[in-house]
């Protein structure tokens, strides 16, 4: 099939996903939660702030710091 991903590419994708999951798991708890809610679950900054009981500005800082940390760790 033309839509099938070659096994080596699929394996590399699985490895990158494992690295991302591990890197997210290594973030400080509040930063990790803000990142997961906003980037992975798709909540807005305001919704994330409501769920976490913190300000929108704090959510923005946590998410920004998480992205920087993950980019540095994963070299992306």
Rounded to the nearest 10 degrees, the angle between the axes of helix 7-25 and helix 56-74 is 130
Q: Enter the pTM of the model.
A: 0.81
pLDDT at site 39 = 94
Q: Are 71 and 46 within 8 A, CB to CB?
A: no
Measured at the CA of 34, the angle between CA 71 and CA 64, to 5 degrees, comes to: 40
Note the pLDDT tens digit of each residue in 19-73: 989 999 999 999 999 999 999 999 999 999 999 999 999 999 999 999 999 999 9
C-alpha closest to that of 72 among 19, 33, 30: 19
């Amino acid at each position: 099939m033309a839509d099938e991903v070659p096994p080596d590419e699929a394996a590399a994708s699985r490895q990158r996903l494992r690295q991302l999951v591990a890197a997210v798991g290594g973030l400080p708890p509040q930063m990790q939660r803000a990142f997961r809610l906003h980037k992975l679950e798709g909540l807005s900054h305001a919704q994330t702030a409501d769920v976490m009981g913190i300000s929108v500005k704090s959510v923005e800082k946590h998410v920004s710091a998480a992205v920087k940390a993950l980019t540095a760790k994963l070299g992306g």
